[in-house]
Amino acid sequence: MSFEDKVLKCKECGEDFVFTAGEQEFYAEKGFQNEPQRCKTCRDNRKASRNARTREMFTVVCADCGAETQVPFEPRNDKPVYCRDCFQNHR
């Protein structure tokens, strides 16, 4: 299949960007059905903002060893919470 560069409009900033033949070939190899909707700059900014979000961490005491640790969820009283090492032992 032969690909040619396409000019697309970014849905984020409204600027035109080129969807190159190489990118189209990559998309086809990966089985992607949709063309990109954002230019590279807007895609990069979007990724950066997703990665910049910080998770709220909760301090708990491990149910096995009693060590203080942090977990990314609010613990419930009806379930034990483990530190990283003890959690690995329970898997």
- What confidence tens digit (pLDDT) does each residue in 18-52 have? 999 999 999 999 999 999 999 999 999 998 887 76
Q: Provide the CA 24 distance to its chain's centre, in angstroms.
A: 22
Read off the pLDDT of residues 53-69 as tens digits, 9 standing for 90 and up: 677 889 999 999 999 99
How far is CA 21 from each of CA 15, 77, 83, rounded to the nearest angstrom? 19, 56, 49
Structural domain spans, the chain: 6-52, 58-90
pTM above 0.85, yes or no: no
Between the two ends of the chain, the Cα-to-Cα distance in Å is: 47
Please state, in angstroms and rounded to a whole number, the distance separating the CA atoms of residues 46 and 36: 13
